[in-house]
Structure 1
């Protein structure tokens, strides 16, 4: 059974090959015959063809003249720019405070001193309070002399509280020595009022400075 199938297959292949060859031969004959007929008919066609002179090409009408360019539309001028300046601000008014009114201080109260019945008087020997032994050496060497007037404040105890030069001797050394010695050594019987009470009071004096021989 297999051998029979193999024989049938071989025959089929051979039949297919023969058919293909026949188709190829027919195609070749058809192509070569068609080419021969075309070459044979070409001279006939050329003999009967009428050659006509070619007409010159028609001249194209000249192009229309260019239209004049339309004038550009007028340009409107730019609108005026109005710059509005702001009004200057009103000036600033600065209120200057008035200086305070300083009233004059009230006058000091008047101290009513009791009326003086007797002035102060020196106790002891006033000439011994300042002597030639107290003469400042610098003033003596400089040859300074003169009279110093003073006013002293004597308290209720009879002591000198302060001293003021009312007349200068011309030498500050002699003036300073006068107040210093007078305040340290002076002793007074205090002043008294009308009722006999001791009261403070002032006392004026003059001291003569003279270089001893």
Structure 2
């Protein structure tokens, strides 16, 4: 078979195949249209609406019989109350009499306390020891011609001597202040202070000593 004949044979087969395909496609299309028409022409019947139920009869009212009416109780009228008798007011009983015991017999009056014998310390031979204090004029104060008055306070012991001298007012010179305390503790003599029973006890004494140049 030559090439020309082979080509002609292929063309003829293609033509025959095309015609057959067209015929098959046409038959298929017709079948589909008929199926669609059959499906679309189906009649659908709607179910009838449900019947409405009959209305129930209206309920009957139960009317209870009226309650029985009891007759009112009889009214009893009490007789008049008995009269009230009043009694006179009874006075309260008198309180019992108070018995006051007689006072105890007075005893002898208490003895008065003994008189107090307390007294402060007093100077003894004051002119004598005061002159001796001034005679012991400090030598340095004499050279420097220092004068002044010193206030002092001493403790007087039970044996009448002076101790614990302190300066209560200064003369302005330490020399004179120191000499005044030394002179009091050395020369001063006292009658000691007494307590309430008259026994010697510690006391105090204050004085002023003046140093003056002649």
TM-score range, shorter chain: 0.3 to 0.5
- TM-score scaled by structure 1? 0.43
